Amino acid sequence: MSPRALVTAFRVVSIAEAVSWTGLLIGMYFKWIAGTTEVGVKVFGPIHGGIFVAYVVVALLTARAQRWTWITTGLALVASIPPFFTLWFERWALRTGRLDPQRALRTAG
């Protein structure tokens, strides 16, 4: 996978993970607070689980390609646990140059 495609995949999966959290939290509200239906949890639970696994895999691939430190890689992985932190990490990594398609090319040689 090209560095540009990997960075794009990481950004897309980061956003998708946050969106799936939203669906799951809404589903949990209706199941546990409103007590009306479990459909949201049944639908968004597996979706969120699949996207979570995809995020972890893409984060590890991106960490290797971008030559992240163990701390940056750890932050990326920990960001997958609290709701919406993948958005924070993605924006932070982009702003600080840790998510740069050219970085992998410059450091590869």
pLDDT digits (tens, 9 = 90+) for 48-89: 999 999 999 999 999 999 999 999 999 999 999 999 999 999
Closest CA to 55 of 27, 24, 81: 81
Q: Is residue 105 included in any domain, yes or no?
A: no
Q: Is residue 65 included in any domain, yes or no?
A: yes
Q: Is residue 103 included in any domain, yes or no?
A: no
DSSP string spanning 86-97? HHHHHHHHHHTT
Domain containing residue 87: 3-97
Q: Is residue 71 included in any domain, yes or no?
A: yes
pLDDT of 105 over the 80 cut: no
CA dihedral sign, ordered 68, 73, 79, 80: positive
Q: Is residue 75 included in any domain, yes or no?
A: yes
pLDDT of 109 over the 50 cut: no
**pLDDT tens sequence across 78-102:** 999 999 999 999 999 999 999 987 7
Q: Is residue 102 included in any domain, yes or no?
A: no
Number of structural domains the chain divides into:
1
CB neighbours of 12 closer than 8 A, spacing ≥ 6? none
Give the Cα separation of 107 and 103 in Å (integer): 6
